[in-house]
């Protein structure tokens, strides 16, 4: 039986603009979902202030206090599981997660990546898109797997790469669309429309053949 309200924990490392997009969306959408906690590995992450402003518990766990990735991830698991989450959302969390962590939250761990996966996994995606002379760029929301940026893709949103774009202008274009696509995917979870079974995505109880492509918001 599904819980009446979807319980969410968000992991961040920085400014938390996608966290803010989720907070804003949940405040205005008639869906049953609640961010129970925000966890950061950076004490000065502005996302912790965003959480405080919204009345959400903010937790700092310093990864430098742990001897290795596995022990840090186990400490995070202990904190996260206290909130019994249905969904764990990575929103600019700049740590590679251990296999144990990923497996623990399999099917309920999602991430947003600033490229049209499988293109440009990893860092510096905007400059790499420019260097490759791609005409389309964007963002992808995917289930997290043990392969970096390699889990099944749920949805994508595109932007046009123009001749006068640079890495910064492209970043600003993409992040605007991230604030559309991430709340939408979370709403699908809250509405029990989305699931992962044996590394295959089901949407509205149908096998998802390809990612949903959302319409971008224009300025």
Q: What are phi and psi of 111, to 5 degrees?
A: -140, 155
In this predicted structure, what is the pLDDT of residue 75? 98
All structural domains of the chain with their residue ranges:
6-214
Q: Calculate the dihedral angle through the C-alpha atoms of 179, 180, 181, 185, rounding to the nearest 10 degrees.
A: 100
How much is the pLDDT for 3?
A: 61
Question: Which among 198, 195, 176, 171 is positioned nearest to 185, based on CA atoms?
Answer: 195
Q: Which two tokens stand for residue 44?
A: 């000065």
The predicted structure's pLDDT at residue 218 = 64
N- to C-terminal Cα separation, the chain: 42
CATH number listed for the domain at residues 6-214 = 3.40.50.170
- The catalytically annotated residue of 63, 104, 113, 192 is 113
Question: Going residue by residue through the chain (219 aa), what tens digit of pLDDT does each one get?
Answer: 456 789 999 999 999 999 999 999 999 978 889 999 999 999 999 999 999 999 999 999 999 999 999 999 999 999 999 999 999 999 999 999 999 999 999 999 999 999 999 999 999 999 999 999 999 999 999 999 999 999 999 999 999 999 999 999 999 999 999 999 999 999 999 999 999 999 999 999 999 999 999 999 864
Residues sharing a CB contact under 8 Å with residue 65, sequence separation 6 or more, in sequence order = none
* Catalytic (active site) residue 113: yes
**DSSP assignment letter at 172:** H
Cis preceding-peptide flag for 103 (omega within 30 of 0): no
């Amino acid at each position: 039986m599904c819980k009446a309200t979807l319980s969410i924990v968000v992991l961040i490392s920085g400014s938390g603009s996608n966290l803010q997009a989720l907070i804003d969306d949940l405040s205005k959408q008639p869906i049953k979902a609640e961010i129970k906690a925000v966890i950061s590995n950076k004490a000065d992450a502005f996302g912790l202030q965003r959480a405080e402003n919204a009345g959400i518990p903010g937790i700092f766990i310093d990864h430098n206090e742990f001897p290795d990735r596995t022990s840090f991830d186990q400490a995070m698991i202990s904190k996260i599981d206290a909130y019994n989450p249905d969904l764990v959302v990575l929103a600019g969390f700049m740590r590679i997660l251990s296999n144990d962590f990923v497996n623990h939250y399999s099917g309920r761990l999602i991430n947003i990546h600033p490229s049209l996966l499988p293109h440009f996994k990893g860092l510096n995606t905007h400059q790499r898109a420019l260097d490759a002379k791609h005409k389309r760029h964007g963002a992808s929301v995917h289930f997290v797997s043990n392969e970096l940026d390699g889990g099944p893709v749920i949805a994508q949103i595109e932007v046009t790469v123009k001749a006068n774009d640079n890495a910064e202008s492209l970043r600003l274009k993409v992040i605007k669309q991230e604030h559309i696509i991430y709340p939408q995917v979370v709403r699908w979870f809250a509405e029990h429309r989305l699931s992962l079974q044996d590394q295959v995505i089901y949407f509205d109880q149908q096998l998802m053949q390809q990612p949903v492509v959302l319409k971008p918001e224009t300025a």
